[in-house]
Amino acid sequence: MTSSSSLRATAQAARSAIPSEGPAASLWQLVGSSARAALLVMLIAGVAYPLLTTGVAQILFPHAANGSLIERDGQRVGSVLIGQQFASDAYFQGRPSATLGADPAQPGASVPAPYNAGASGASNQGATHQGLAEVVAQRVDQYRAVNGLAAQVAVPVDAVTASASGLDPHISLANAQLQVARVAKARGLLPDQVQQLVQDHTRPRTLFLLGEPRVHVLQLNLALDAAAPTTAANKE
């Protein structure tokens, strides 16, 4: 009995000698494990994964990975993915663009800035919006006037409506064909010559099923410059 009592007393003394962990110690353990987990996730998702995907893209798809840029005479003139505004009669004109930009005269305000690649977006006006109907009617009249079309000629939808991004680099084949006569006259070319350039820069339906044939405006205009250079004054 004496020996058993002595053993129990020794065990109790040993347990009491071990300091118990309080709430503060448990909190710091939780903070430490959370910090280690966050660091691990940051290294994997924020460093390793971006480096891996960037490296793979640069090896397999370098042109697309670098913005699908278009160069002419060693200078970057645009991107395959982003349209540009052309106002001269000597160029094919793209879709209307509803993008906005900062108003230099009034901080915090916005002004129309067609094909502003830093502010992709649309007007968000629905089909029944009165303002949209008025704008489209004005664009129809302007399109016919610029291209010398009769009042009964149907105007392609993409010629008078903006895309959802405001940066669409393509126009429909019908839109391009209605601009051929104007461009040929401004360039001093035969309509058949310009029509051939349109055909050369027409892309078919995606997978031969999706969408409609479309024409890349910037590439077509660059081909026009190569075929029949125009003066700097006519480019504006």
How far apart CA 225 and CA 223 sit, in angstroms, is 5
Which candidate, 179, 173, 203, 201, places its Cα nearest to that of 191? 179
- Asked if 123 and 136 touch (Cβ cutoff 8 Å), the reply is no
Token pair listed for 180: 């051929």
Containing 177, the helix (H) or strand (E) segment is helix 173-187
Q: Give bridge partners of residue 111 from the DSSP assignment.
A: 101
**pTM score of the predicted model:** 0.75
Q: So where are the chain's domains?
A: 27-66, 67-235
Summarize pLDDT for 206-222 with one digit per residue, the tens. Answer: 888 888 999 999 999 99
Angle formed by the axes of helices 191-200 and 173-187, to 10°? 140
Region 115-129: what's the mean pLDDT? 88
Q: Could you give the 3-state DSSP secondary structure of residue 131?
A: helix
Summarize pLDDT for 59-107 with one digit per residue, the tens. Answer: 988 888 888 889 888 888 989 999 999 989 999 999 999 999 988 888 8
